[in-house]
Amino acid sequence: MTYHTLSTGCLCALLALGCTSTSQPGEPDPSPAVASEPSPPAANSSNDIGESSLEPLEPIYFDTDRALLSETAQAKLKRYAEFILEHEDAGMVRIGGHCDERGSEEYNLALGERRATVVAKYLKNLGVPASRLQTYTRGEMQPAYPGHSESVWRLNRRAEIVDEGNYLALR
List pLDDT tens digits, range 104-113.
999 999 999 9
**What ranges in the chain are assigned the alpha helix state H?**
2-18, 71-86, 105-125, 150-156
Contacts for 129 with CB less than 8 Å, ≥ 6 apart: none
Average pLDDT over residues 46-73: 73
Does residue 97 belong to any structural domain of this protein?
yes
Q: Give the count of domains, the chain.
A: 1
Do the beta carbons of residue 116 and residue 95 sit within 8 Å? yes
* Among candidate residues 106, 105, 123, 131, the one with its CA nearest the CA of residue 159: 123
20, part of any domain = no
Q: Could you tell me if residue 158 is inside a domain? A: yes
pLDDT given at position 54: 36
Of 92, 98, 123, 94, the closest CA to residue 111 belongs to 98
The answer to whether residue 8 is domain-embedded is no
- In this structure, is residue 73 part of a structural domain? yes
Segments forming the whole domain that contains residue 125: 60-171
% the chain with pLDDT above 70? 63
Report yes or no on whether pTM surpasses 0.85: no
Q: What is the DSSP letter of 75?
A: H
Beta-carbon contacts of 39 under 8 Å, excluding residues fewer than 6 positions away, are 33
CATH number at residue 154: 3.30.1330.60
- Domain assignment of residue 137, yes or no: yes
Helices 71-86 and 105-125 sit at what angle, rounded to 10 degrees?
60
Query: Roughly how many angstroms between the first and final C-alpha of the chain, as a whole number?
Result: 48
- Residues 120-136 have pLDDT tens digits of 999 999 999 999 999 99
